[in-house]
A and B are shown apart, each in its own frame.
Chain A
């Protein structure tokens, strides 16, 4: 599989983003029996190793250089592979290998990308547990803005700017529990993930 993400950009790893990563990782382990660990992988982003029997846990090795947002994308993408039944016994799914052109790999990867996009926007996962944060998952406005590169980058900059202002103006105590602040936190989390993995956008 050849997962491409945008790397080398400044990270906007908020607490919300990290909490979302932990939640999805726990979901993978508890519901899909995927154990995740991190290792320095120089040439690929992740490996999903499936055991010989379905009752044994699968192992996901994720590159320790992957950002939190990228990890979230990889979890959703791997969940899509599993939902599609690509995790055959004793078969390893490699994410992010450069220059891999095997037809079956490319085809499976494309299917997983499509399903991952549907999961992310809450269209294919009952209860939306694997998708984007619930508050913003169904936001048509965010989805439209994230569909185009320029507006995606602009939206991210605006949301990060708003976060700076939120803390610089010292209004976080007043607004911390408000719906608006929660929405903005989730919007920034969703934007950060789609920013590193634009394939999740339309």
Chain B
């Protein structure tokens, strides 16, 4: 898969990780996705630094969506504002899969968000969203 906007994805990952070291970030992403992320550590580091547009190990939108949910959960854990989490999460997804597909996935969050005022509830929602996209 070719990342459509590597620079914006990198900025979003850095915003969502809020100062966490890249290695800790990658560990947490593997934890959150139950080891189902096909990207190796080095590639994830390069994506986070905006050094590559190629994420060959990812060959399906599902993997990008899992990464999107996991990064937003990380944003919740780092106690970012709900607005930042949502904006940067959208940027990650759109950067990976392009705006049309990202908007489709994002539609539920956009509709649900006005009903969630609490960051912990948002995190629970995102964890459930991630679980839905984990392989059987």
Taking the nearest CB of chain B, how far is it from the CB of A101, in angstroms? 10
Residue A42 lies at the interface, judged by CB distance under 8 Å to chain B: yes
Distance to closest chain B CB from A117 (angstroms): 23
* A47-B125 contact given A42-B118, A100-B115, CB 8 Å threshold: yes
Asked if residues B120 and A94 are in contact (CB atoms below 8 Å), the reply is no
The reply to whether A59 and B116 contact each other, CB–CB distance below 8 Å, is no
**Top-6 shortest CB links A-B:** A97-B115, A42-B118, A49-B128, A94-B115, A51-B132, A43-B118
A49 surroundings in chain B (CB, below 8 A): 125, 128-129, 131-132
Q: Distance in Å from the Cβ of A61 to the closest Cβ of chain B?
A: 5
Whether A52 contacts B132 in the complex (CB less than 8 A), given A91-B108, A97-B115, comes out as yes
Q: How far is the CA of A189 from the CA of B121 in the complex (A)?
A: 30
Given known A-B contacts A44-B115, A100-B114, A92 and B136 have beta carbons under 8 A apart: no
**CB proximity of A190 to chain B, nearest CB, Å:** 30
Chain B interface residue number, banded: 20 to 34
Q: Which of B91-118 contact A (CB under 8 A)?
A: 105, 107-108, 111-112, 114-118
CB-based contact B114/A47 at 8 Å: no
Task: Tell whether, in the assembled complex, residue B121 and residue A41 are in contact, meaning their CB atoms are under 8 Å apart.
Answer: yes
CB contact between A39 and one of B112, B116, B124, B136 (< 8 Å): that residue = B124
A165 within 8 A of B: no
Query: CB-nearest residue of chain A relative to B114?
Result: A100
User: Can you list 9 A-B pairs, Cβ within 8 angstroms, ordered by A?
Assistant: A42-B118, A43-B121, A47-B124, A49-B129, A52-B133, A59-B132, A90-B105, A92-B129, A100-B114
Contacts of B117 in A (CB 8 A): 43
Taking the closest CB of chain A, its distance from the CB of B79, in whole angstroms, is: 15
Q: Given A42-B118, A44-B116, A56-B132, decide whether A61 and B124 contact each other with a Cβ distance below 8 A.
A: yes
B54 to chain A, nearest CB (A): 26
Closest to A96 in B: B115
Chain B positions within 8 Å of A92 at CB level: 108, 111-112, 125, 129
Scan A12-37; emit 1 where CB is below 8 A from any B CB, else 0.
00000000000000000000000000
